[in-house]
Amino acid sequence: MKFFVDTADVGKIKDLAETGMVDGVTTNPSLVAKTGRDFSEVIAEICSIVSGPVSAEVAATDAPTMIAEGRKLHNIAENVTVKVPLTVDGLKACRTLSDEGTMVNVTLCFSSAQAILAAKAGATFVSPFVGRLDDIGSNGMELIRDICEIYANHTAFKTEILVASVRHPMHVVESARLGVDVVTIPPSAIRQLYNHPLTDKGLDAFLKDWAGTGQSIL
């Protein structure tokens, strides 16, 4: 399962890239707005740090302008993945850009029916938002289970499931259990994956006992 980082914060991406676990990056207009930086510059900088897919989202809502924006974004770097919303126009743009050989991430997916359409439109990735479904009292991971089952039944569907709107470690663990292709995780949730109180407690005890021996390895 691939790990993408869900942020446009270049400092955090650099820091996490050092762990060797970053397979790609996803951004969206809200994440870019938070940085206060120029969109194209941020995407170019992220692409210089991470060689895997870097999602950059179009801002238009009509297919012709989405396609033009997508082509411009793709010109920034080979690994730019054009992100389009799951709308009729978004899926038209997805088909055109995918046919041109550009990776496309269809975002804002909230149902299995939408995920089927994304696959039919030739999306490289479909992004179901699990956290936002949980927020309204639905079960985000149930949607992932459904999409996994549907895609597995249709070998013609080449779209990868990219679990998005991840809020906590259990979203990641459950995604791994279901065999999804990619999880995009905000930096704060990636840090949470490392944590366990028994690890901290155990390490404290080991260090204390080691200090008592008066020895040094180096």
> Can you state the angle between helices 88-99 and 112-120, rounded to 10 degrees?
30
Judge whether 128 and 143 are in contact, CB under 8 Å: yes
Of 26 and 96, CB closest to ligand G3P = 26
Q: Does 164 bind ligand G3P (CB under 6 A)?
A: yes
Give SS3 for 50: coil
Least distance from ligand G3P to the Cβ atom of residue 35, Å: 14
Query: Distance of CA 81 to CAs 130, 137, 138, 194, Å?
Result: 21, 31, 29, 28
Least distance from ligand G3P to the Cβ atom of residue 19, Å: 20
Q: Does 26 bind ligand G3P (CB under 6 A)?
A: yes
State the chain's maximal CA–CA distance in angstroms: 71
Only one of the segments 13-21, 124-132, 146-154, 189-197 lies at the binding site for ligand G3P (rule: CB under 6 A); that segment is 124-132
Q: Does 187 bind ligand G3P (CB under 6 A)?
A: no
Least distance from ligand G3P to the Cβ atom of residue 127, Å: 6
Pick the binder of ligand G3P from 3, 4, 6, 112 (CB under 6 A). Answer: 6
Of 92 and 132, CB closest to ligand G3P = 132
Alpha-carbon span 190 to 185, nearest angstrom:
6
Among 2, 72, 83, 208, which one carries the catalytic annotation? 83
Judge whether 7 and 185 are in contact, CB under 8 Å: no
Only one of the segments 93-101, 112-120, 129-137, 193-201 lies at the binding site for ligand G3P (rule: CB under 6 A); that segment is 129-137
Q: Helices (DSSP H) in 29-87: which residue ranges?
A: 29-35, 39-49, 63-76
Judge whether 98 and 89 are in contact, CB under 8 Å: no
| 83 is an active site residue | yes
Alpha-carbon span 105 to 186, nearest angstrom:
17
Q: Does 125 bind ligand G3P (CB under 6 A)?
A: no
Catalytic residues: 83
Q: Applying CB under 6 A, which residues contact ligand G3P?
A: 6, 26, 28, 129, 131-132, 164-165, 184
